């Protein structure tokens, strides 16, 4: 499954970058986040309760940053374990660029799951994931105290 989007933040690129690397800011923006903590210079431990239709499994996982160019880009790889629900995995490329009046964030991700999650169907999981991503960036901007515009992903 692939997901992504483009978002304009009414904030300088350096401010958006700093917020992307602030565990408290991320926790405020991730729905169902029980905890997120830096465990190393490029690793985060996370626990997230996910709403998948009538189910609400808690996924415990690890996120690793790579291909880091400060204030410009990084790749985020993650794996989550949801007990009997199975495993979820994903990777995202995040790019920041200066734009008049703020910064543009481009987000491209791919992910998948195994176990009971896949029995729910790719469509349900896919729609849930895109809502989570869009909602994350809206809550992230709100936590930063700045406005956000969702841009056409095709441009």
Domain residue extents for the chain: 2-151
Tell me the torsion sign for CA atoms 84, 111, 147, 72: positive
- CATH architecture for segment(s) 2-151: 2-Layer Sandwich (3.30)
Backbone angles phi, psi at 101, to 5 degrees: 85, 0
Say what the pTM is.
Answer: 0.83
pLDDT at position 51 is 73
Alpha-carbon distance 155 to 74, whole Å?
21
pLDDT at position 58 is 85
**pLDDT per residue as tens, the chain (155 positions):** 677 889 999 999 999 999 999 999 999 998 889 999 999 999 999 998 877 677 787 889 999 999 999 999 999 999 887 766 667 788 999 999 999 999 999 999 887 766 655 555 454 455 566 677 778 899 999 999 999 998 887 66
CA-wise closest residue to 92 among 113, 127, 66, 69: 66
* DSSP result, 115-140: THHHHT-HHHHHHHHHHHHHHHHHHH
pLDDT at position 123 is 47
pLDDT at position 2 is 77
3-class DSSP state of 64 = strand
pLDDT at position 136 is 87
pLDDT at position 124 is 47
Partnered with residue 46 across adjacent β-strands are 36, 61
pLDDT at position 87 is 75
CB neighbours (10 Å) of residue 66? 10
């Amino acid at each position: 499954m692939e997901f992504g989007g483009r978002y304009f933040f009414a904030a300088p690129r350096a401010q958006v970058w700093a917020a992307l690397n602030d565990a408290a800011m991320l926790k405020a923006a991730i729905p169902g986040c029980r905890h997120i903590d830096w465990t190393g210079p490029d690793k985060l431990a996370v626990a997230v309760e996910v709403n998948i239709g009538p189910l609400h499994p808690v996924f415990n996982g690890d996120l690793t940053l790579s291909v880091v160019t400060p204030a410009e880009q990084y790749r985020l790889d993650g794996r989550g374990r949801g007990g009997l629900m199975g495993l979820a995995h994903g990777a995202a490329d995040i790019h920041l660029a200066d734009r008049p009046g703020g910064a543009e964030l481009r987000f491209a991700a791919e992910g998948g799951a195994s176990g009971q999650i896949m029995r729910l169907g790719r469509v349900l999981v896919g729609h849930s994931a895109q809502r989570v991503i869009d909602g994350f960036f809206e809550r992230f901007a709100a936590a930063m105290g700045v406005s956000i515009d969702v841009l056409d992903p095709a441009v």
